Chains A and B, each alone.
Chain A
Amino acid sequence: MGEFDAIDALLAAAKQEIPLPPAAERRSLREELNLSRAQLAKAMGVGASTVGGWESGRDPSGEVREKYAYFLEGARTKLDAAAAAEAPADDPGPGDDGPAEADQAVGTDDDDVLPAPRPCVLCGQPARHQVEGFPQHLDPAECGTAGPAQPAKPTPRTEPRQPAPAGRQSRAASDVKDVKVVPVGRRVQAASDTPDLIGSAVAAALAQHAGDVEAATAALVKRAIPDAMALLDDTRKGGRYDIVAHPWLPDILRKQTARGADQIWEARPKWTRPELPTGRHEVTALDINGAYLSALKTHLPIGRLEHSTGNHHDRRRAGVHLITPPAWDHDACLPNPIGNRDEPGPLWVTEPTLRLLLRVSGPKYGLCDPPEIHESWTSGATESLLEKFRVALKDARDRAIAEDDDVTLEYVKQMYSKFVSTLGESNYNRELYRTDWMHLIRSQAFVNLWWKAHRAYDEGLMVVRAMGTDELHVTGDWRAVFPEGRGVTEVKVKDVYTVGTGPDQPPQPPESPS
């Protein structure tokens, strides 16, 4: 009889499959939530093409079907709620926990009060309300996960959604922190397990000086150059290209006399607007954070520079070029891309300056004529040669800012700035004699500043000065254009001063670009 029992149990377990909406609606539901197939697939634990199949008519079955039905149901609830109430102030905002929690539309009818507190599905803390049978906090401020990190945004729905961490089995997972992994050989390793050269150096210095911050900083500053070179070697492990440290260099890259300069023009901006409109202007001096750190991402020649002639630019190569610069007619509102050069005639410029000139002379901007290239010393180039080095320094810098760690911050700053300044024929760093890289990286910083000036101009601010590596003076509402902060993509205020006399002038509309 046992056999029949088993069959009875099977029949009892076989229930009606959950109905799914038609295929076209599945797709529109997902797209209206601004979710990509890949994001949804990751949350469901299937491939992106499988989701594509479901959306074009195939039907999932089993456990996956239940999950998919749950997603579609939640998505519809959320969209209905958003359509009903245009004030989504209660929405926990982006980055809460991904598409699986798409039914976060609280403040609708289907949430009710629980008789006894039950653990919240988001943060695990006791909650007094439930939505569709899932206990949770209605106020994001109470919820431990989404609350404190999410300031109320007026339009949270338009923000890109973070995909849920893969492999999550239940919604009740209390830990929401992703683990950053890096490839090591054939496996991946948690980023925290790989040796952190910067962190360990700082910890060792602090331990050696018994927590004396000033002494530790001084000791770290002293060893910044060799440490930067060690970090560079470490980040090049497994890289495709060797770093050639002592190449043969053409004469234009050699100093003419012991204290003289070589023939390369780095296009350092030193520009002041000739005249301001009448009235009183409040000028803000902005400082670009970590200008040289960002400039490490540039097209660098890998091997020995080779000579070529002719007016032709190969995008896969980088180096220095002898060009005749085009005339610049916008000196009244924008700095000249080749900087403040008095001497006419051909000059040796670097790759970033040439690319800038070619770009602004192109059809999109059309600000000047294309430059005429006479000769070039170039080599095959890559943008990723120093990329891991830059990212390692940037991550350490971000972490130091977040943790308010002045020792690491100063150490990192010394590492990248001294790395750039001793890259050439410096006696303080004899491991690397790449004068060409030094010029290219500096020029890239100046080019980045030029683009910032152009962006300010494009957005309707008035650019007053662009000078040095990282200083930009503007008038107008710059906070709408540049985010303020300490990250490398943000700017900080150096100085605020007023120019001119008379009544306050409202921000000028931009002069129409020619």
Chain B
Amino acid sequence: MPERNIEFGKYGARGIKGHEAVARQLDALAGYIATPVTARRGLLARLHYLTRTDHARTAARQAGLTVTARTLRAWLAGTRSPSRRNLERIEQAYRTVRRENVARYLLARLNREGRGTRVEIHPLNQSQVDRPRQRAVEFRTMNVRRWDRIVAAWAVGDDQGLDDAWVDQVVDLGSQWGQYEYVTNVGFAA
């Protein structure tokens, strides 16, 4: 696509891809456990979340936590503690399962029965760009009515899919949507 930036940041502009900002905001709305997995409290909270029901256990196994029930019991009882690699797996499995569980409700709140959600797009940061190369990029808002593809891609952690789904929405900003490929922040409520 011609609107895509080729060498972003060459003259000092700073920002993140729009879909990354969207994923950040969705993560913030999903509300993960705040305590890190390296702390005992955080580890127990995640393990409890992943082992509460049979459904949760199955989901955790599918998300990559392939340890025996005996090991899980030992971790929960505190007789053994997971290795660093297993801690990463627990964290990864927790985030995946949490996203899957939350996605349905988040989607309903964002779609609001077809009324959609107002999204604020804060433009990239040009404070480090030479004055003659700076461009007037304004703060924009738009209403996103269909969040299905965005939330689905976010829930399965599909970066490319999320990018495509987000760009599909951003083109509604008009012919200059390429200026909003990189942003400092994308804000919306759910």
Contact = CB atoms under 8 A, between A and B. Distances in A.
A61 B127 CA distance: 66
A113 interface: no
A187 to B, nearest CB: 29
Q: Which 4 A-B pairs have the closest CB atoms?
A: A246-B187, A430-B189, A258-B34, A248-B185
A114 interface: no
A244 B119 CA distance: 10
B184 interface: yes
B120 interface: yes
Interface in A295-334: 303-304, 306
Interface of B: 25, 29, 34-35, 118, 120, 122, 127, 139, 141, 184-190
A248 B190 contact: no
A242 interface: yes
Interface of A: 242, 244-248, 257-258, 303-304, 306, 430-431, 433
B122 A248 contact: yes
Nearest to B33: A258
A209 B58 CA distance: 48
Contacts of A306: 127
Contacts of A430: 29, 189-190
B120 A245 contact: yes
Contacts of B139: 242, 244, 303
Contacts of A258: 34-35
Contacts of A245: 118, 120, 187, 189
B184 A248 contact: yes
A215 to B, nearest CB: 27
B143 to A, nearest CB: 13
Given A244-B139, A430-B189, A430-B190, 12 more contacts: A244-B120, A245-B120, A246-B187, A247-B122, A247-B187, A248-B122, A248-B184, A257-B34, A258-B34, A304-B184, A430-B29, A433-B189
A302 B184 CA distance: 17
19 contacts: A242-B139, A244-B122, A244-B139, A245-B118, A246-B25, A246-B120, A246-B185, A246-B187, A246-B189, A247-B120, A247-B122, A248-B122, A248-B185, A258-B35, A303-B139, A306-B127, A430-B29, A431-B189, A433-B187
Contacts of A303: 139
Contacts of B184: 248, 304
Contacts of A247: 120, 122, 185, 187
Nearest to B34: A258
B31 to A, nearest CB: 8
Contacts of B29: 430
Contacts of B190: 430
A490 B25 CA distance: 44
Nearest to B121: A246
Best-surrounded residue of A246, A257, A303, A430 (most CB of chain B within 10 A): A246
A304 B35 CA distance: 29
A140 B178 CA distance: 73
Nearest to A303: B139
Nearest to A429: B189
Nearest to B186: A246
A242 B122 contact: no
A230 to B, nearest CB: 13
B129 to A, nearest CB: 15
Nearest to A229: B189
A430 B187 CA distance: 11
A431 B122 CA distance: 16
B34 to A, nearest CB: 4
Nearest to A430: B189
Nearest to A257: B34
A194 to B, nearest CB: 24
Contacts of B187: 245-247, 433
A306 B125 CA distance: 11
A67 B35 CA distance: 81
Contact of A242 (B34, B141, B188): B141
Contacts of B34: 257-258
A430 B185 CA distance: 16
A258 B45 CA distance: 15
A302 to B, nearest CB: 10
B148 to A, nearest CB: 20
B125 to A, nearest CB: 9
A248 B28 CA distance: 13
A247 B118 CA distance: 14
A262 to B, nearest CB: 15
A93 B183 CA distance: 63
A257 B42 CA distance: 13
Contacts of A257: 34
A380 to B, nearest CB: 12
Best-surrounded residue of B118, B139, B190 (most CB of chain A within 10 A): B139
A244 B141 CA distance: 9
A125 B46 CA distance: 82
A181 to B, nearest CB: 31
Contacts of B127: 306
Nearest to B109: A430
A431 B118 CA distance: 9
B149 to A, nearest CB: 22
A309 to B, nearest CB: 14
A484 B84 CA distance: 67
B160 to A, nearest CB: 25
A433 B188 CA distance: 9
Contacts of A304: 122, 184
Contacts of A242: 139, 141
Contacts of A248: 122, 184-185
Nearest to A302: B139
Nearest to A431: B189
A462 B34 CA distance: 49
A306 B184 CA distance: 13
